[in-house]
Amino acid sequence: MVHVTFPPPYHSPNRVADQLRDHGYAVLQPADTAAWIGCEVADLMALTPDWASLPPDEFLRDGGRYRFRRHASFRVQGDAVQQVPHRAHWQPVKYNALHGGMERWFAPMLAHTTQLAVWQQLIAKLAQLSQQLFAPDPAEPCFVEAHQFRIDTASGIGRPTPEGAHRDGVDLVAVFLVGREGVKGGETRVFEASGPSGLRFTLTEPWSLMLLDDARMIHESTPIQPLDEACHGARDTLVVTCRRQCFQGDEGKNPV
């Protein structure tokens, strides 16, 4: 069977902010991802081995065992990236009908990763973009959550977004494809939240990047299956979200 895929609509790294303002999304190929962050592709590739040892996600309500994950949270002000004490990830049911309304204590990201210079650059760049586009005062802190995901096909099928098409309840969403091997599917679908337009494409190049204005765009990734039934495969991503004022769920509390 022929598996049809649509190529990503790559954009210029020099027009990321304008593309997001005008269309609500931007997509960068790996070399442009690195150039935009201010590093080398090799620096990003040095992060990749982490994904081989992610622990299972213990909070899947569909009963699946296909998702592996680590999580970390940061407070960013200017170029200063401060990792905050490990905390639960929380979303309201409004944004995650499957897992909303519950505290999910995922395994923390490894210190040797979060202390790398390229990691600090990556987080600072995303926070600066988010504040530039969405914050009344860009000098105020930005609250960032990072999620390392592996979706595998050991059970025959893996679901990158078991909650379906959704928004995340933040300002900016960044999805990096870290790698994919031995799988079919995993198509990215992006739709206007209040309009008819949408697009579909498949990220295949390691460290390609999709950026979304979360208020304007709904997104999902289709399930993955093994290319060869005798061998399971996996799709690895890094998802980073940026939010003004506080972490989601901390409204009314003193900010970190």
Residue 187 reports pLDDT greater than 50: yes
pTM of the model: 0.95
Domain locations in the chain as residue ranges: 15-244
- In this prediction, residue 161 carries a pLDDT of 87
> Which of 39, 35, 42 minimizes the C-alpha distance to 10?
35
Residue 4 reports pLDDT greater than 70: no
Residue 77 reports pLDDT greater than 50: yes
Residue 99 reports pLDDT greater than 80: no
Indicate the SS3 state at residue 230. coil
Instruction: For the domain made up of 15-244, give the CATH fold.
Output: Jelly Rolls (2.60.120)
Q: What is d(CA 157, CA 16) in angstroms, rounded to the nearest whole number?
A: 34
Residue 25 reports pLDDT greater than 90: yes
Asked if 220 and 193 count as a contact pair (C-beta separation under 8 A), the reply is no
Q: What is d(CA 238, CA 132) in angstroms, rounded to the nearest whole number?
A: 22
Beta-strand ranges (E) seen in 35-124 are 67-77, 80-83
> Mean pLDDT over all residues of the chain?
93
- In this prediction, residue 1 carries a pLDDT of 46
Residue 61 reports pLDDT greater than 50: yes
Q: What is d(CA 13, CA 150) in angstroms, rounded to the nearest whole number?
A: 27
Asked if 114 and 72 count as a contact pair (C-beta separation under 8 A), the reply is yes
Percentage of residues of the chain with pLDDT beyond 90? 79
| Backbone φ, ψ for residue 199 (5° rounding) | -150, 160
- In this prediction, residue 154 carries a pLDDT of 92
Neighbours of 111 (CB within 10 A): 10
Classify burial at 192, counting beta carbons within 10 Å of its beta carbon; exposed 0-12, middle 13-18, buried 19 or more. middle
